[in-house]
């Protein structure tokens, strides 16, 4: 019984949250990797672009709630996803047309692109500040829990409860759907193949009649979907604080690099690697161990490797270690 | 007038000096034309000028009697000119079949049929169709490169050193493939380092020196010309 209790504690506090958090990171990491593979630069505006898309979801959720439109037990925010995606894509295309395309035609080096994206990041932050302000907002409605701790205890008679928040389940399911569709698109469709070809060998792609403008357009469309959905899922799960997304860029970049930058499947797995590392290293194992060892050996300390305040240090360390030992990432990079 | 013809072409890179000056090259359908010459003679440059990768300062390029000097390389590809660069001439991270699919990107229909035709021409590609091209041998890669270029059913095929860096056995095999392609009524223009072998399969050849036509004639004539032999074929 104690053993099962230990497993339940671990699942409840690490595995389920890590799967949800990992999914959110994975979407961001695929976004980073896709932009890197096709447009060939590290987009530092990633976090704020996710925030930008989420902002529309928050505003539209308030509007839909005010006119009484909802999805019952599901969050209203799900209903706003298509609209938020459209706004996000329009914004990205606008930025691309007025900012990035100029440097693309000039064939600027990637470093210059990265610096330009820092500028885009500041502008995006400012726009968010003007439209919605910096404060914390909750926009989750509908049923909060699929499985409550007390219900689980009653059902199983265990000491420990297992909770499954609806946002966690939604995050995992939506991520799997989006990512599967994206991989199907990249690998099985003519347009997806042409994107991979363009990423692999731009000159030869041009000589084969692939239109670079179309490839860029489709890349932004996919990027817009990933950024918006990733941002909304994160906002639903935690809360929407516009500038938290900027901080999330560190684990997102770490995930993209761990997975081999330019490799979307690597980025997808990299998201979970980073999420599990952050959560497992900052989790306090006291209760878990207490179930497994005799009472006399119960630990006095929290049995925590690092305080949760340092969770970004974990992703930063992983990033540095990967860059030192295996710079191409766990999976070989530069391919979509 | 030849089917594909560059007349009195003068061109260079950017604002730099002219690499080719008043250089003329022509090819008819079902003919292999070799461009030869010492290093730095402007062989590849002449070919790139005909493809439109660099702008002509003077002269013109015509395809089937139509002046194409002003249109972009992409549009020339649409008009039926296909090019196999010397390096990076395949999509190394894609499978063999995907390479061919991209080669036929502009095709409206008959993609599968055309891929089958390429497999008939290069049977090894059929065996390796699901393999990533980066994992193939040099000779097989060159076949993928040729196959990709042929997917658009071009009327003109330009090859920049198709046998660079492959073993002599593979080279002979590649030349055989090129002859097979020629028989499908394609005009082939190729730049080659291996002058003797290239001339032996070519209908005509051009020898360029410092960007100008120095000798031209049928493959046999050039092979037997004492001066060409002495200067370029090693006696």
Confidence of residue B1 (pLDDT cuts 50, 70, 90): confident
Mutation site, A200, A205, A328, interface B, largest B CB count within 10 A: A200
Residues of chain A with pLDDT under 50: none
Cross-chain Cβ contact A194/B74 below 8 Å: no
Q: What angle do CA A200, A204, A210 make, to 5 degrees?
A: 90
Predicted local confidence at residue B231, as pLDDT? 74
Mutation site, A194, A207, A260, A335, interface B, largest B CB count within 10 A: A207
Residue B235 scores a pLDDT above 70? no
| Exposure letters B108-134 (e unless 16+ CB within 10 A, then b) | eeebeebbebbbebbebbeebeeebbe
pLDDT by residue (tens digit) across B17-48? Answer: 889 989 999 999 999 999 988 888 888 899 99
Cα torsion A195, A197, A199, A202: sign: negative
Contact present, A334 and A259 (Cβ < 8 Å): no
Q: What percent of chain B has pLDDT over 90?
A: 53
Q: What percent of chain B has pLDDT over 70?
A: 99
Q: Where are the alpha helices (DSSP H) in A189-248?
A: 190-200, 202-207, 212-237, 244-247
As a whole number of angstroms, the longest Cα–Cα distance in chain B is 51
Predicted local confidence at residue B41, as pLDDT? 86
Containing A5, the helix (H) or strand (E) segment is: helix A2-10
| A16-39 vs A166-188: helix crossing angle, rounded to 10 | 30
Predicted local confidence at residue A261, as pLDDT? 87
Distance (Å, rounded) from C-alpha B129 to C-alpha B132?
8
Mean pLDDT in residue range B173-202: 90
ipTM surpasses cut 0.85 = yes
Q: Which fold has domain A2-325?
A: ABC transporter involved in vitamin B12 uptake, BtuC (1.10.3470)
Confidence of residue B16 (pLDDT cuts 50, 70, 90): confident
With 0-12 / 13-18 / 19 or more C-beta atoms within 10 angstroms meaning exposed / middle / buried, residue A61 is: buried
Of the candidates A190, A203, A335, which has its C-beta nearest B88's C-beta? Answer: A203
Of the candidates B74, B90, B94, which has its C-beta nearest A209's C-beta? Answer: B74
Contact present, B205 and B34 (Cβ < 8 Å): yes
Q: Is the pTM of this model over 0.80?
A: yes
pLDDT by residue (tens digit) across A305-322? Answer: 888 888 889 999 999 998
Mean model confidence pLDDT for chain B: 89
Of the candidates B83, B89, B92, which has its C-beta nearest A200's C-beta? Answer: B92
Q: What angle do CA A169, A172, A177 make, to 5 degrees?
A: 120
Structure tokens at A140: 């989750």
pLDDT by residue (tens digit) across B69-110? Answer: 999 888 899 899 999 999 899 999 999 999 999 999 988 888
Cross-chain Cβ contact B102/A206 below 8 Å: no
Predicted local confidence at residue A333, as pLDDT? 52
Predicted local confidence at residue A335, as pLDDT? 53
Query: How far is A335 from chain B, CA to nearest CA, in Å?
Result: 7
Predicted local confidence at residue A291, as pLDDT? 86
Numbers of helices and strands, H then E, in chain A? 16, 2
């Amino acid at each position: 019984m104690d053993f099962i209790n230990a497993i339940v504690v671990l699942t409840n506090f690490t595995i389920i949250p890590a799967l949800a958090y990992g999914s959110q990171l994975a979407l961001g990491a695929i976004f980073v990797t896709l932009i890197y593979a096709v447009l060939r630069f590290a987009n530092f505006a990633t976090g704020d672009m996710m925030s930008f898309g989420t902002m529309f979801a928050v505003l539209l959720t308030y509007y839909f709630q005010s006119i009484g439109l909802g999805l019952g037990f599901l969050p209203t925010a799900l209903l706003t996803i298509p609209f938020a995606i459209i706004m996000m894509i329009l914004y990205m295309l606008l930025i691309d047309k007025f900012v990035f395309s100029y440097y693309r035609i000039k064939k600027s080096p990637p470093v210059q692109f990265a610096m330009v994206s820092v500028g885009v990041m500041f502008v995006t932050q400012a726009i968010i500040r003007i439209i919605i302000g910096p404060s914390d907002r909750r926009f989750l409605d509908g049923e909060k829990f699929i499985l409550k701790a007390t219900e689980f205890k009653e059902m199983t008679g265990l000491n420990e409860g297992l909770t499954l928040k609806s946002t966690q389940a939604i995050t995992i399911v939506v991520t799997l759907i989006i990512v599967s569709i994206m991989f199907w698109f990249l690998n099985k469709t003519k347009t997806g193949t042409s994107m991979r070809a363009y990423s692999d060998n731009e000159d030869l792609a041009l000589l084969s009649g692939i239109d670079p403008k179309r490839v860029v357009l489709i890349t932004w469309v996919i990027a817009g979907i990933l950024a918006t959905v990733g941002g909304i899922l994160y906002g639903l799960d935690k809360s929407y604080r516009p500038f938290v997304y900027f901080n999330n860029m560190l684990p997102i970049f770490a995930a993209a690099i761990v997975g081999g930058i330019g490799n979307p499947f690597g980025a997808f797995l990299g998201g979970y690697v980073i999420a599990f590392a952050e959560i497992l290293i900052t989790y306090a194992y006291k209760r878990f161990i207490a179930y497994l060892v005799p009472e006399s050996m119960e630990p006095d300390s929290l049995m925590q490797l690092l305080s949760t305040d340092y969770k970004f240090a974990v992703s930063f360390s992983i990033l540095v270690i990967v860059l030192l030992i295996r710079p191409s990432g766990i999976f070989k990079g530069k391919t979509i | 007038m030849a089917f594909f013809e560059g007349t009195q072409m003068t061109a260079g890179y950017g604002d730099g000096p002219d690499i080719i000056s008043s250089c003329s090259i022509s090819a008819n359908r079902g003919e292999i034309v070799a461009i030869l010459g010492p290093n730095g003679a402007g062989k590849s440059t002449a070919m790139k000028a005909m493809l439109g990768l660099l702008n002509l300062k003077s002269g013109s390029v015509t395809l089937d009697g139509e002046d194409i000097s002003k249109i972009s390389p992409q549009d020339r590809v649409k008009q039926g000119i296909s090019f196999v660069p010397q390096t990076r001439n395949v999509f190394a991270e894609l499978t063999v079949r995907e390479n061919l699919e991209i080669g036929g990107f502009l095709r409206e229909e008959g993609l599968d049929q055309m891929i089958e035709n390429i497999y008939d021409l290069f049977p090894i590609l059929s065996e390796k169709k699901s393999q990533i091209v980066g994992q193939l041998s040099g000779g097989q890669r060159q076949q993928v490169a040729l196959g990709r270029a042929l997917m658009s059913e071009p009327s003109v095929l330009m090859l920049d050193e198709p046998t660079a860096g492959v073993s002599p056995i593979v080279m002979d095999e590649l030349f055989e493939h090129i002859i097979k392609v020629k028989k499908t009524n394609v005009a082939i223009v190729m730049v080659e380092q291996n002058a003797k072998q290239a001339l032996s399969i070519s209908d005509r050849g051009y020898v360029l020196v410092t960007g100008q036509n120095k000798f031209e004639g049928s493959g046999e004539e050039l092979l037997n010309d004492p001066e060409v032999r002495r200067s370029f074929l090693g006696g």
